[in-house]
């Protein structure tokens, strides 16, 4: 099947408006007879479910948590971008579009990104109308902060809990519709397969996680909004339950999977402390505004620190290597995430890591205390302030800005970051790759849509800070509710979809058989054993830097782990009760397939771009020596994979990327 | 360190539960409490026993899913955190730790340490929203200035994670801190004033219907709240309710 992105014709700034004017709509009376299933209730799924219900469709929403409010969008800290230009600093739709395409290293689809920038301002209006308490200045107007990789201040925020507040906004909109009976909410339910009838998505098979019952649910269209697959690495900043299952099941039923190798490894996370570690915690990128990143210059100091003979504060300025400032004088500590992560890895691989595991660098606020403290002393007319006074005044300012993050750090590491530098290390955070969708956000299966982090569409090979929330809400509030009408307009005479068909029966049987296999297998090893083993291969060979040799090995090793899993996995308990081990088993089974496709995708993409760094594709000399080298001539395409029975046999389809409104350039942060 | 765990085990909502003793060894002080539970569960899986079911998800203190009652305190012996942020350095070698589910009539046990908090959902559905449809034509976000003080106070109330620690802690199993926080967030903002009367009446009515108790001002909820939600929110809710009924 040839890929058709269905991007409308015409100038980029008119595409979305003209398209909306011409697409088919479903009249309000007919919407009452149309059902839509939405799987996942984060920013994308929650906002889509609420908006579809407001429009009049009958929505069935599914979440594996006990409430829609607990989806992992809730953990987003920093903010949400919007081209409002409230600061008068020259921001515009075009500029947000440009920054997003450039930040994504020119691997995203222009028309989708432009639309995203276009609706970004509506998102802020909508959220404020819902009562989202964004930060304001003393005049009562909305405040902004700035993030990495851009030259304007366009990030709206609610302290360090922006994701929480936006999700609670979408959740409140859902609650209003649940109360009206327009959304039927299925908490503690997990989608385990999609059901296709006559080639169209017509329902799902879901498991009630309390009773273990397998349920059939039908609808005229199915929307998958189940987030990213970062947990394929076992350790990531994702929630423990975040998984690829829904996305992977639809892939196996015909939806192409795009760019699986595009993963964002976030530079500022709390380092791991031991083998028992279950997850990693992110510290907002905003910290790099005020923190300076360094490791000791001399190996003796590294050893002394690791052995506890020296403290980081004992080292003088010229005994420290501020490696980002050294390598990237123009952007310094505010280089994009992929660049900062690789630089930390480079120092740690060279042996300069500052904790027992050798995988940590310092994020130091001493200079910020000094700078803010001096300023405060002037403001408060304190003449000849002592060093201690300056530090104290500066710490107050830093506390007001990042207090909750400092507290979080102290609880985990048991060190006071006001007194000693923080330790950080990169961790898997976000996946830009995902299910391939066209301009309507429809997958290659008719009637099956994919939105939010679960799709591939807007961030190319690297996502800029504060853009994930923007995309989730753009898809759910302002894009999908319109584009889905174009498809559903043909369904006004269809009537209710029966679940008593052979298609539902077959899908249900397949799901039940797999569950019975797990609880009866009586193997010798726990699910986590396999998940950790997979995670290690992924991190070592498909992590921050990749090479052909390692990727080939990864494919073989992952396949071997998968084979062992199906022989040796042990799942206690039964299928007809709440059984968390059984839930995990199903998810890890899918990660074990995705992992192999991930490595295959990374192997085929022989260029470096964004979060995907191929060691074979680096600049060999000149001022950019050692930096990532993109290859636009051969790789300016989206890799969309078609499932063919085994993950390793997937067939590649290419969507060529055309850049008509932006000139392709090498990213330079020197 | 080596520990004895006394854990509530209950097969399902209709079975009777009981405390069961377990031993865990070689626990690092750097582990989080839930990582210690992972160690126990791995141990149980490897011996073919059913692991202990407990709710958890984000493991960074924001989703509100985790909910244990540890040594008689919701989220255990530390302040301003959820169970997933509790670390083993708060305990010492040889300790016995008692772990129970959140207990309240309106939070029935589903299994082991997992409880049903959908009563919170129904309270929110009764009025925890502003009635505004999604449209691309909502008025500009800056068209109504909101004082920084009101916006910050609304934000403080809105940081509630809906975990239910307030209910588990309260001797009356009252949900008034939870409901008060939601009522306050909207009552403090001009967008929320329009429906303020109906909202507080409907939410409080639903709260009573769910079987939550009343507030007797002991303030334990505020102490145990992982987000430090203030008792002021209960006072504000009561004022709103009074205003609504005159």
Written as one string, the DSSP assignment of A543-580 is SSSB-HHHHHHHHHHHHHHHHHHHHHB---S-SSS--H
A175 with B128: Cβ contact below 8 A: yes
Residue ending a domain, among A379, A405, A428, is A428
Report d(CA A555, CA A550) in Å as an integer.
9
In angstroms, the CA A595 to CA A537 distance is 9
Integer Cα distance of A205 and A255 in angstroms = 17
Helix, strand, coil percentages, rounded to 5, for chain B: 40, 15, 50
> Which residue segments constitute the domains of chain B, with CATH numbers given?
3-111 (3.10.20.30), 117-133+141-245 (1.10.1060.10)
Tokens of A170: 């979408």
Residue A289 makes CB contacts below 8 A (sequence gap 6+) with: A146, A334
How confident is the model over A439-469, as pLDDT tens digits? 999 999 999 999 999 999 899 999 988 999 9
Known catalytic residue at A337: yes
Section A130-151 average pLDDT: 89
Confidence bin at A1 (pLDDT 50/70/90):
low
End-to-end CA distance of chain B: 60
pLDDT band at residue A403, thresholds of 50, 70 and 90? Answer: confident
**Which pLDDT band, with edges at 50, 70 and 90, does A501 fall under?**
very high
Would you say residue A383 lies in a domain? yes
Calpha distance A380→A394 (Å, rounded): 13
A517 shares a domain with A420: no
> pLDDT at position A207, please?
98
Whose CA is closest to B75, among B206, B166, B178, B198?
Answer: B166
Q: From the list B53, B63, B117, which residue is nearest A580 (CB)?
A: B53
Look at strands A35-39 and A221-224 and give their pairing.
Answer: parallel
Binned at pLDDT 50, 70 and 90, residue A670 comes out as confident
Give B190-207 pLDDT, tens digit per residue.
999 999 999 999 999 999
Q: φ and ψ at A569, to 5 degrees?
A: -70, 140
Residue in B117, B128, B142 closest to A142 by CB: B142
A34 vs B: CB within 8 A: no
Which tens digit of pLDDT belongs to each residue from A621-630? 888 888 899 9
Report yes or no on A67 lying in a domain. Answer: no
Selected residue with higher pLDDT from A2 and B193: B193
Would you say B10 and B16 are in contact if contact means Cβ atoms under 8 Å apart?
A: yes
Residue A656 domain-assigned (yes or no)? no
% of chain A beyond a pLDDT of 70:
100
A–B interface: beta-carbon pairs under 8 A: 213
Domain that holds residue A326: 269-428
A66 touches chain B (CB under 8 A): yes
Confidence of residue A372 (pLDDT cuts 50, 70, 90): very high
pLDDT value of residue A485: 97
Q: Is A548 on the interface with B (CB under 8 A)?
A: no
* Phi, then psi, of A336 in degrees rounded to 5: -60, 165
Q: If you ran DSSP here, which 8-state letter would residue A282 be given?
A: B
Q: A73: nearest CA in chain B?
A: B63
Number of domains in chain A: 2
For residues A424 and A320, state if they share a domain.
yes
Q: Which of A428, A450, A467 is the last residue of a domain?
A: A428
Same domain? A304 vs A408: yes
Query: Residue A247 falls within a domain, yes or no?
Result: no
**Torsion sign (Cα): A661, A665, A667, A669:** negative
- Same structural domain, A536 and A420: no
Write down the mean pLDDT value for chain A.
Answer: 95
Same-domain check for residues A540 and A407: no
Sheet holding A434-435, edge to edge: A434-435, A257-258, A637-642, A651-656
Contact map slice: B 212-231 vs A, CB within 8 A: none
Using CA atoms, how far apart are residues A439 and A174, in angstroms rounded to an integer? 25
Are residues A411 and A513 both part of a single domain? no
Of B42, B44, B162, the CB nearest to A69: B162
Enter the DSSP assignment of B138.
P
SS3 content of chain A, % helix, strand, coil (to 5): 45, 15, 40
Q: How many beta carbons lie within 10 A of that of residue A532, not counting itself? A: 15
Q: Please, is B35 exposed, middle or buried when counting C-beta atoms within 10 Å of its C-beta (0-12, 13-18, 19+)? A: buried
DSSP state of A517: H
CA B73 – CA B61 distance, rounded (Å): 16
Q: Does A284 share its domain with A395?
A: yes
pLDDT at B222: 97
Q: How far apart are CA B246 and CA B242, in angstroms?
A: 7
Nearest to B104 by CA among B53, B15, B172, B190: B172
Instruction: Indicate if A408 and A523 belong to the same structural domain.
Output: no
Three-state SS sequence of A296-338: ECCHHHHHHHHCCCCCHHHCCHHHEECHHHHHCCCCHHHCCHH
* Residues facing A649 on adjacent strands: none
Interface predicted TM-score (ipTM) of this complex, two decimals: 0.98
Do A410 and A522 lie in one domain? The reply is: no
pLDDT above 70: residue A7:
yes
Region for B171 from its dihedrals, namely left if φ exceeds 0, alpha if ψ lies in -120 to 50, beta otherwise? alpha
A125/B138 Cβ within 8 A: yes
**Strand positions, DSSP E, A334-467:** 361-364, 422-431, 434-435, 448-450
C-beta of residue A592 within 8 angstroms of C-beta of residue A534: yes
Residue of A nearest to B79 (CA): A411
pLDDT tens digits for B137-153?
889 999 999 999 999 99
> Tokens 């923190």, residue?
A291
Helix (H), strand (E) counts: chain B: 9, 7
Domain end marker among A428, A451, A470: A428
- Within 8 A by CB and 6+ apart from B35, the residues are A276, A277, A278
> What are the two backbone dihedrals, phi and then psi, of residue A470, each rounded to the nearest 5 degrees?
-60, -45
Residue A461 near residue A611, CB atoms below 8 Å: yes
The one catalytic residue among A337, A463, A587, A614: A337
Half-sphere exposure of B44 (CA within 13 A, CB side): 19
- For residue A529 the two structure tokens come to 């054993």
pLDDT of the residue at B207: 98
A571: closest chain B residue by CA: B45
Looking at the domain assignment, is residue A451 inside a domain? no
Does A528 map to a domain?
Answer: yes
**Residue A309 placed within a domain:** yes
Cα B209 to Cα A112, B104, B175, B200, distances in angstroms: 47, 14, 12, 14
Handedness of CA A363, A629, A666, A602 (dihedral sign): negative
Per-residue confidence (pLDDT) for residue A266, from 0 to 100: 94
- Residue in chain B closest to A186 (alpha carbons) equals B118
Cβ atoms of A348 and A425 closer than 8 Å: yes
Q: How far is A228 from chain B (nearest CA, A)?
A: 14
pLDDT of residue A147: 76
DSSP A587-648: HHHHHHHHHHHHHHHHHH--S-BTTB-BTTSB--SSTTTTSB---HHHH-EEEEEEP-SSGG
- Domain membership of residue A669 (yes or no) is no
Closest partner residue to A75 among B58, B148, B154, by Cβ?
A: B58
* CA distances (Å), origin A1, targets A224, A251, A632, A651, B179: 22, 14, 25, 11, 53
């Amino acid at each position: 099947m040839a890929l058709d992105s269905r991007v409308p014709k015409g100038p980029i700034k008119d595409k979305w408006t003209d398209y909306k004017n011409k697409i088919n709509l479903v009249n309000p009376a007919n919407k009452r007879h149309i059902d839509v299933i939405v799987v996942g209730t984060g920013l994308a799924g929650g906002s889509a479910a609420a908006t579809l219900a407001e429009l009049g469709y009958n929505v069935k929403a599914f979440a594996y948590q006990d409430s829609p409010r607990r989806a992992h969008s809730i953990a987003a800290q920093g903010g949400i971008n919007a081209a409002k230009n409230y600061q008068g600093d020259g921001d515009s739709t075009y500029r947000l579009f440009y920054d997003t395409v450039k930040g994504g290293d020119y691997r995203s689809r222009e028309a989708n990104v432009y639309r995203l920038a276009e609706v970004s301002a509506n998102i802020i209006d909508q959220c404020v109308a819902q009562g989202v308490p964004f930060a304001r200045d003393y005049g009562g107007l909305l405040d902004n902060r700035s993030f990495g990789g851009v030259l304007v201040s366009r990030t709206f925020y609610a302290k360090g809990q922006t994701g929480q507040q936006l999700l609670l906004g979408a959740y409140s909109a859902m609650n209003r519709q649940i109360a009206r009976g327009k959304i039927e909410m299925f908490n503690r339910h997990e989608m385990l397969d999609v059901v296709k009838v006559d080639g169209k998505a017509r329902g799902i098979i879901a498991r009630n996680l309390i009773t273990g019952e397998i349920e059939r649910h039908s609808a005229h269209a199915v929307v998958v909004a189940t987030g990213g697959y970062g947990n394929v690495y076992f350790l990531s900043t994702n929630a423990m339950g975040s998984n690829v299952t829904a996305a992977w099941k639809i892939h196996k039923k015909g939806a192409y999977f795009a760019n699986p190798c595009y993963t964002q490894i976030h530079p500022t996370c709390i380092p791991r402390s031991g083998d028992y570690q279950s997850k990693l915690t992110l510290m907002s990128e905003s910290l790099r505004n005020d923190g300076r990143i360094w490791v000791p210059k001399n190996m003796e100091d590294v050893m002394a620190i690791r052995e506890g003979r020296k403290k980081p504060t004992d080292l003088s300025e010229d005994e420290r290597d501020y490696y980002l400032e050294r390598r990237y004088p123009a952007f310094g500590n505010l280089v994009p995430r992929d660049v900062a992560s690789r630089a930390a890895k480079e120092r740690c691989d060279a042996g300069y890591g500052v904790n027992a595991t050798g995988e940590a660098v310092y994020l130091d606020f001493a200079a910020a205390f000094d700078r803010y403290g001096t300023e405060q002393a002037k403001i408060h007319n304190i003449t000849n302030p002592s060093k201690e006074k300056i530090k104290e005044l500066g710490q107050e300012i830093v506390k007001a800005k990042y207090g909750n993050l400092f507290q979080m750090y102290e609880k985990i590491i048991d060190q006071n970051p006001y007194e000693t530098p923080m330790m950080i290390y990169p961790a898997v955070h976000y996946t830009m790759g995902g299910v391939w969708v066209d301009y309507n956000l429809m997958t290659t299966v008719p009637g099956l849509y994919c939105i939010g982090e679960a799709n591939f569409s807007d961030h190319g090979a690297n996502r800029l800070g504060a853009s994930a929330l923007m995309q989730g809400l753009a898809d759910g509030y302002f894009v999908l509710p319109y584009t889905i009408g174009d498809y559903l307009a043909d369904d006004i005479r269809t009537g209710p979809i029966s679940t008593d068909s052979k298609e539902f029966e077959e899908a249900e049987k397949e799901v039940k058989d797999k569950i019975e296999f797990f609880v009866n297998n009586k193997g010798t090893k726990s699910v986590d054993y396999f998940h950790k083993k997979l995670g290690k291969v992924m991190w070592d060979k498909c992590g921050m830097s990749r090479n052909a040799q390692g990727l080939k090995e990864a494919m073989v090793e992952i396949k071997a782990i998968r084979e062992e899993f199906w022989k040796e996995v042990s799942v206690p308990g039964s299928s007809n009760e709440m059984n968390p081990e059984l839930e995990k088993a199903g998810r890890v089974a899918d990660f074990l397939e995705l992992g192999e496709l991930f490595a295959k995708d990374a192997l085929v993409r022989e260029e470096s771009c964004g979060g995907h760094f191929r060691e074979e594709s680096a600049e060999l000399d000149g001022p950019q020596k050692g930096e990532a080298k993109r290859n636009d001539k051969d790789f300016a395409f989206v890799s969309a994979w078609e499932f063919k029975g085994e993950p390793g046999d997937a067939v590649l389809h290419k969507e060529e990327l055309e850049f008509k409104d932006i000139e392709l350039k090498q990213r330079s942060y020197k | 360190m080596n520990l004895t765990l006394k854990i509530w085990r209950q097969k399902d909502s209709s079975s009777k539960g009981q405390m069961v003793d377990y031993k865990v060894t070689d626990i690092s002080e750097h582990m989080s409490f839930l990582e210690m539970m992972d160690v126990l569960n791995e141990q149980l899986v490897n011996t073919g026993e059913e692991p202990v079911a407990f709710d958890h998800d984000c493991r960074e203190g924001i989703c509100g899913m985790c909910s244990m009652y540890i040594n008689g305190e919701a989220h255990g012996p530390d302040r301003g955190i959820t169970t997933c942020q509790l670390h083993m350095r708060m305990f010492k070698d040889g300790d016995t730790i008692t772990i129970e589910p959140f207990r309240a009539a309106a939070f029935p046990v589903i299994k082991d340490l997992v409880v049903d908090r959908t009563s919170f959902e129904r309270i929110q559905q009764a009025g925890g929203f502003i009635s505004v449809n999604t449209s691309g034509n909502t008025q500009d976000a800056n068209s109504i200035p909101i004082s920084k003080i009101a916006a910050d106070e609304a934000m403080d109330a809105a940081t509630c994670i809906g975990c239910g620690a307030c209910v588990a802690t309260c001797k009356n199993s009252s949900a008034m801190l939870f409901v008060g926080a939601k009522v306050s967030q909207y009552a403090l903002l001009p967008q929320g004033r329009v429906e303020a009367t109906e909202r507080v009446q409907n939410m409080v009515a639903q709260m009573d219907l769910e079987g939550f108790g009343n507030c007797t001002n002991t303030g334990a909820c505020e102490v145990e709240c992982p987000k430090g939600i203030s008792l002021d929110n209960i006072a504000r809710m009561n004022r709103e309710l009074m205003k609504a009924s005159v």
